[in-house]
């Protein structure tokens, strides 16, 4: 049973497959895991193995060690086949979410996964120590967690909501990862950190922070049966040339690679796998910029018109990108809410941009600070920033590039210590729930992360979470995107694909589209 087909069918035949949820496991259970798989990456992100610590969540190894409560397909839609919840439903008032757990799932130490573990994990993820992305909103939202039976969890929310299931899947963050309550209480936080256990297909063996992490396959995983490889290595190899050399020498099977080097590696016969549309590159301005040129929408429009998105996509991104003009426009959500951005593309028009600047009273140009830094999954970041600065210079915007590392920029942003300064991020693509969640963070002036002040926008955002009718939600989301684009609240630049180069011995693998996950489940075994 090949992966792609399986998932496509799963979406179509959900009810039928629910009953057969364990079928794929059974078919592979007799096989034994063997061999080694090495994933060499430019960054292992914050290397803590505790799902609630470390924040930045491009941590592919965690998905191998822990299962999520809610499953997620490779394209980012929710799944009832690959999460611990075999089904869920929400009450009519949208305040009681009931999750039914798969039975017989075991942690790496042999204990059963029960509703108590789910409750414990969720409380921990929304607790004081947690640094996960949505700890705050979840804490606000959840009133109580009930465990009426070992295979049944009920999450009671303070207000009606549609978002709970998405928040607990790997499409968003790590809050949905399920840890063992018993193990944790026996070992404490530090003991857990030294030797974490979960219920995922691979268990922890050894690691050297800043170098590698070694995982070992469990005998039989409920989702996968016997995992494809006996040992799974994640190695940190910052220098790209070194990663490619490792691939050529057979010392690495999967590497991340910059888009510009794809052709070179492909020419040597190494297959490239794309994670399609996994992120949008988005530029924004540090608040508060009232009283600055940026306060004028015409200036913001001029900055957008000055950029040749197509040229960028074709050169620096080597064709693995497409223009995406709406700031924080998450393209996965477009079909869900019935939004289209085709008519909203910015024309590359430096003359019009200059005219807009002049009309706004800045004919003699303005000055900007553009921060430039590296990000996981975006090795082209600094070249892109340099090119953007070049485009802006060409319309008379004096753009000072400030190379920093990301934390330094973040500090300026969070402290708001450089009003009007510009940063960028490759925002993981997401469905409408995720899109709403992230836009709220940037549009809500009360948040430290706010990047725009627009009362109209805020009104729309605030209306969404309490809304329980999907039609109205869709309408609000469309308004939201339209407003972001018409006011030019940032520079929505490109929707990008992320390439991985793989060794010739891997038969097939689809990295999926979820930026936070490598979808290693989909890896077919070594060619025999």
Partner 1 sequence: MRRFLLQRAIRAVLTLAILSVVIFALARATGDPLTLILPPEASAEDRANVSQELGLDRPWVVQYGRFIGHVLVGDFGISLYHRQPVNELIRDRLPNSMRLAGFAMAVAILLAFPLGVLAAARKDTLFDRGDQVIAILGQSVPTFWLGVVLIETVASRLQWFPPGDIGGLDHYILPGFTLGWFVVAGMMRLLRSGMIEVLDAEYVKLARIKGVIERRVIWQHALKNALIPVVTFMGMYFAILVANAIVVETVFAWPGMGRLAYEAITTRDFPVIQAVVLVAALIVTVANLAIDALYVVIDPRIRHAG
Partner 2 sequence: MSDIPLSPIQRVLRRLPGRRTKGRVAGPPLIPLVILVAFVLAAVFAEWVSPGEPYRQALRAGFRPPVWLDAGTWSNLLGTDRLGRDLLTRIIYGARVSLTAGVITVLVATAVGVAVGLVAAYFRGRVDAVLMQLTDATLSIPIILLALILAVTVGPSFGNVVLAIAAILWARYARVIRGEALSLMERDFIALARVAGCSPARIIAVHLFPNILNTVVVLFTLQVGDVIIVEAALSFLGAGIPPPTPAWGSMVADGREFITTAWWVSFFPGLAILMVVLSFNLLGDWLRDRLDPKLRQI
Nearest distance from C-beta of residue 407 to partner 1, angstroms: 4
403 binds, among partner 1, partner 2, none (CB under 5 to 8 A by kind): partner 2
Candidate list 123, 231, 345, 449; residue touching partner 1; CB under 8 A: 449
- CB contact at 8 A, 88 and 154: no
Region from 237-245, 330-338, 364-372, 481-489 binding partner 1, contact rule CB under 8 A? 237-245
3-state secondary structure at position 59: coil
Nearest distance from C-beta of residue 386 to partner 2, angstroms: 5
Contact between 389 and partner 2 per CB under 8 A: yes
- CB contact at 8 A, 229 and 36: yes
Comparing CA positions, the residue from 344, 355, 349 lying closest to residue 305 is: 349
242 to 271, contacts with partner 1 by CB under 8 A?
A: 242, 244-246, 248-249, 251
The rounded Cα 516 to chain-centroid distance in angstroms is 5
**In the structure encoding, which two tokens stand for residue 245, read together?**
């050399």
Contact between 315 and partner 2 per CB under 8 A: yes
Contact between 90 and partner 2 per CB under 8 A: no
The rounded Cα 295 to chain-centroid distance in angstroms is 30
In the complex with partner 1, the residue whose CB is nearer, 8 or 129, is 129
Candidate list 126, 372, 467, 503; residue touching partner 2; CB under 8 A: 372
In the complex with partner 2, the residue whose CB is nearer, 354 or 522, is 354
Give the x-and-dash track for 145-184 against partner 1 (CB under 8 A).
----------------------------x-----------
For residue 370, give the H/E element and its range: strand 366-372
Region from 122-130, 147-155, 342-350, 458-466 binding partner 1, contact rule CB under 8 A? 122-130
Residues in binding contact with partner 1, number by CB under 8 A: 53
Long-range contacts of 204-211 (CB under 8 A, 24+ apart): 204/49, 204/65, 204/108, 205/231, 207/47, 207/49, 209/47, 210/47, 210/236, 211/235, 211/236
Where would I find the H helices in 400-469?
Answer: 406-415, 432-443, 455-463
360 to 419, contacts with partner 1 by CB under 8 A?
A: 405-408, 410-411, 413-415
245 binds, among partner 2, partner 1, none (CB under 5 to 8 A by kind): partner 1
**Could you write out the DSSP letters of every residue in 468-496?**
--HHHHHHHHHHHHHHHHHTT-SEEEEEE
Contact between 288 and partner 1 per CB under 8 A: no
- As a whole number of Å, the end-to-end CA separation of the chain is 17
402 binds, among partner 1, partner 2, none (CB under 5 to 8 A by kind): partner 2
Q: How many CA atoms lie within 13 A of 499 on its CB side?
A: 21
Candidate list 260, 349, 458, 487; residue touching partner 2; CB under 8 A: 260
Nearest distance from C-beta of residue 409 to partner 1, angstroms: 9
390 to 419, contacts with partner 2 by CB under 8 A?
A: 390, 393, 401-405, 408
């Amino acid at each position: 049973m090949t992966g792609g087909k399986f998932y496509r069918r799963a979406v179509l035949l959900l009810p039928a497959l629910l009953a057969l949820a364990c079928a794929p496991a059974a078919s592979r259970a007799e096989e034994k895991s063997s061999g080694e798989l090495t994933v060499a990456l430019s960054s292992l992100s914050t290397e803590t193995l505790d799902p609630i610590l470390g924040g930045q969540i491009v941590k592919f190894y965690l998905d191998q060690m822990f299962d999520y409560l809610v499953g997620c397909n490779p394209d980012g839609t929710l799944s009832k086949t690959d999460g611990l919840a075999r089904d869920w439903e929400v009450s009519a008032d949208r305040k009681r979410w009931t999750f039914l757990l798969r039975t017989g799932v075991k942690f790496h130490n042999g204990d059963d996964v029960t509703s108590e573990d789910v409750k414990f994990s969720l409380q921990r993820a929304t607790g004081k120590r947690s640094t996960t992305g949505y700890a705050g909103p979840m804490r606000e939202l959840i009133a109580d967690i009930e465990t009426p039976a070992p295979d049944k969890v009920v999450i009671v929310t303070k207000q009606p909501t549609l978002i709970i299931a998405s928040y607990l899947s790997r499409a968003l963050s790590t809050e949905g990862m399920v840890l063992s309550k018993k193990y944790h209480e026996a070992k404490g936080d530090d003991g857990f950190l030294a030797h974490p256990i979960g219920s995922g297909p691979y268990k922890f063996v050894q690691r050297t922070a800043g170098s590698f992490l070694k995982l070992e396959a469990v005998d039989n995983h409920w989702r996968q049966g016997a995992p494809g490889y006996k040992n799974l290595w994640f190695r940190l190899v910052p220098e790209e040339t070194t990663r490619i050399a490792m691939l050529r020498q057979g010392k690495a099977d999967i590497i991340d690679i910059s888009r510009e080097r794809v052709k070179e590696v492909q020419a040597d016969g190494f297959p490239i796998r794309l994670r399609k549309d996994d992120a949008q590159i988005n530029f924004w301005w540090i608040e508060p910029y009232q009283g600055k040129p940026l306060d004028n929408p015409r200036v913001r429009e001029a900055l957008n018109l000055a950029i040749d998105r197509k040229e960028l996509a074709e050169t620096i991104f080597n064709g693995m990108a497409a223009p995406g003009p709406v700031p924080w426009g998450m393209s996965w959500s477009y079909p869900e809410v019935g939004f289209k951005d085709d008519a909203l593309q910015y024309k590359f028009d430096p003359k019009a941009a200059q005219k807009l600047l002049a009309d706004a009273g800045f004919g003699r140009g303005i000055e900007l600070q553009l921060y430039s830094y590296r990000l996981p999954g975006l090795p082209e970041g600094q070249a892109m920033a340099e090119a953007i600065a070049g485009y802006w210079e060409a319309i008379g915007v004096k753009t000072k590039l400030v190379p920093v590392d990301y934390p330094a920029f973040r500090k300026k942003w969070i402290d708001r210590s450089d009003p009007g300064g510009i940063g960028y991020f490759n925002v993981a693509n997401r469905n409408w729930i995720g899109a709403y969640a992230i836009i709220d963070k940037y549009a809500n002036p009360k948040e430290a992360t706010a990047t725009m002040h627009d009362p109209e926008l805020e009104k729309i955002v605030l209306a969404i979470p309490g809304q329980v009718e999907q039609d109205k939600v869709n309408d609000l989301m469309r308004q939201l995107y339209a407003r972001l684009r018409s006011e030019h609240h940032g520079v929505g630049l490109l929707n990008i694909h992320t390439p991985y180069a793989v060794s010739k011995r891997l038969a097939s693998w689809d990295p999926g589209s979820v930026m936070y996950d490598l979808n290693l489940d989909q890896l077919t075994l070594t060619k025999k």
